[in-house]
Structure 1
């Protein structure tokens, strides 16, 4: 199971070009959703306006080399290690979900576009990435949703902002179930979970505009802007 490319021998015998087209469509959905989100919330406009204000308020001159260094350090520390989360367990769940998702998506793309020549390492990474995403996602959802509990709401309360996490975990879970039943030659269950896997991907990437997906791009930008402001004295 773990060393087999599930896309190459999918239970519905969908040709590779169709799956590749589906992947490209999901990328288009993602880009379109992020653009619409930026237009609606005007985050980019806010960043540029804030950058102008900080430039006027700056008391120190920061060279280009220093700025590049700050950007690299921010990405390596704040983003790569989820440093904004103070709690250790909260950081672990976020890192599991983040890196698990990256591994899962990259391995998916490689396997989909190289169905006949995929190395066994990519199916292994695909399954490991999915498991990491599930562990991080379920850990967060069932144990760490202290924000909604503090407000007197149940952990099961779902709003649009939760769409990204739920569809992400759902996609990984359904992918694992599809792969398992497909490798076990259980055609009925394999078909069921494969169809649900496709639907969950449509919800995940088609729902970018309503979810927190675009938030992943804003947070690094805000962190970089914060450290640049601290360096030039405008903060």
Structure 2
């Protein structure tokens, strides 16, 4: 069951060319939607303009080696291990979802293009099912327990907003895909879940403009830029505050002694003091 290629069974009903054409179309929609999203939101233009504006406030010039090191650090910490998440549960959930989705996409391509027959390597088929399960584990954990709407704001888990389009279509794709594979041979139910699988996948990949799909390409660039401006001292043209009781700092920023006194007290952890559950 888990070792069989579900797309090979599908190819006995739907021509393989149609299946492959659908996958290619989804790829084109993702690429095209992401590019259009960047143009529409002017995110690339914003980054370039921001980098240009920060040049005047740099305190040091980064070498090529510095930038390579920052890129590696970004790839390892911010991308590969999702280091931006302080909440360990949120981080684990995200990692399961991210790597599960990557596994799902790669094995789908392999099963549809490289091994579109029942003789496909069992490990590839098993990894496809594993990818679905990983997305479901991380995604449902997030949806029911970790989402801010649920965990911090007290809203019911079934409250749906436009921003939920990505996670719901992702969960629908992997859930219905897995159930479709497991019900292979049960004609009515299998056909139903196949239809739901295709609908969910179409919404996921074609709805880039209306979901958070494009942000998976945007976030690494943003994380890299954040590390660069910290390393070169530009700090987004913001001052780097030190000891608030320093007379030189207070002279530079007179608002500090005016509103906080000559010797500002330690403010504590602030919002990090406790989990936000005050609904």
Which of the numbers 131, 134, 137 marks the counterpart of 2:139?
A: 137
CA contact (8 A) 1:78 1:223 kept: yes
CA contact (8 A) 2:29 2:206 kept: yes
Structure 2 residue aligned with 1:181: 183
The 5 Å alignment of 1:69-84 reads 69-84=69-84
The 5 Å alignment of 1:83-122 reads 83-113=83-113, 114-116=115-117, 118-122=120-124
1:22 and 1:51 mapped to 2: Cα distance?
39
Q: Deviation digits for residues 30-67 of structure 1, max 9, x if unmatched?
A: 11211221122111111111111222211112110110
Structure 1 residue aligned with 2:65: 65
Structure 2 residue aligned with 1:126: 128
CA contact (8 A) 2:11 2:19 kept: no
Which stretch shows the higher mean deviation, 150-159 or 81-90?
A: 150-159
Q: How far 1:94 moved relative to its partner? A: 0.2
SS of the equivalent of 1:14 reads coil
Q: Deviation digits for residues 179-204 of structure 1, max 9, x if unmatched?
A: 0010xx21111111111111111111
1:13 and 1:125 mapped to 2: Cα distance?
24
2:23 and 2:4 mapped to 1: Cα distance?
19
Give the structure with higher Rg (CA).
2
Q: Deviation digits for residues 85-106 of structure 1, max 9, x if unmatched?
A: 1011110000000000000000
1:201–1:88: structure 2 CA closer, same or farther, 3 Å change rule? same
RMSD of the alignment, in Å?
1.4
CA contact (8 A) 1:11 1:190 kept: no
CA contact (8 A) 1:104 1:126 kept: yes
Q: Deviation digits for residues 156-197 of structure 1, max 9, x if unmatched?
A: 221221111100011000011100010xx2111111111111
1:21 and 1:65 mapped to 2: Cα distance?
42
Structure 2 residue aligned with 1:167: 169
Structure 1 residue aligned with 2:34: 34
1:208 and 1:155 mapped to 2: Cα distance?
24
Compute the TM-score of the two structures, normalised by the length of structure 2.
Answer: 0.80
CA contact (8 A) 2:98 2:135 kept: yes
2:85 and 2:17 mapped to 1: Cα distance?
41
Gaps of 5+ in 2: 236-279
CA contact (8 A) 2:145 2:151 kept: no
Query: How many residues were matched structurally?
Result: 233
